[in-house]
Amino acid sequence: MSKPINVYSIPELRQTLDDALPEVFARHELKQSFRLIDTKLVIGYGIALVAAASFLLDKKFEFDEVLLYQKILVGSYVFLSTVYWYFTKFVQKGITYEGVDKKGRSITVKTFFENNEPLYHVTFMTQGDFDLKTALPVNKVFNEQGFLQTDLLYQWIGQQLTTLETKKAD
């Protein structure tokens, strides 16, 4: 069982529910895809390498000797930082989970809370542009002491996946 949280804190609710999603989807036999996370890491490591190279050049050589290289490194740093910002703002925007089912179909899940209401808004998206937008009242999956009841979350996600499957069949 997880540790209790303050159910009146939206950030704690979001963090706990988002962290529970991979386990719940694994129970529904979906395999998590780390494509977006890996891309974000590669860009971040590229930024760190450029910064480290700039630091090493600055420490080992005189300013006039490496000015051209520093300009290239600063330009690379700005470019990679812009790519990172664009990726998190427009590509990854709100995606909490990506997974693939046994049949090879991918499912993407976006989550958010709106206006500090205790409704966990979840959007299920599939390859064929089938979307299911729904909201989970958090008091259905948290008890009075603030413990997440993962079995109830598992059942709710299962109902949503069934609804998504029937929607795709139509």
Question: What local confidence, expressed as pLDDT, does residue 3 receive?
Answer: 84
CA-based torsion, 160, 163, 169, 170: positive or negative: negative
Question: What local confidence, expressed as pLDDT, does residue 169 receive?
Answer: 65
Question: What local confidence, expressed as pLDDT, does residue 1 receive?
Answer: 53
- The closest of 33, 39, 24 to 148, measured between CA atoms, is 24
Alpha helices in the chain (DSSP H): 10-27, 35-60, 67-86, 150-169
Output the tens digit of pLDDT for each of the chain's 170 residues.
568 999 899 999 999 999 999 999 999 999 999 999 999 999 999 999 999 999 999 999 999 999 999 999 999 999 999 999 999 999 999 899 999 988 888 999 999 999 889 999 999 998 866 789 999 999 999 998 999 999 999 999 999 999 988 876 66
Angstrom CA distances, 50 to 72, 87, 113, stand at 10, 18, 36
Question: What local confidence, expressed as pLDDT, does residue 165 receive?
Answer: 83
Which pTM does this prediction carry? 0.84
Question: What local confidence, expressed as pLDDT, does residue 166 receive?
Answer: 83
Question: What local confidence, expressed as pLDDT, does residue 159 receive?
Answer: 95
Residue 136's DSSP bridge partners are 120
Sheet with 95-100, edge to edge strand ranges: 31-32, 95-100, 106-113, 119-126, 131-137
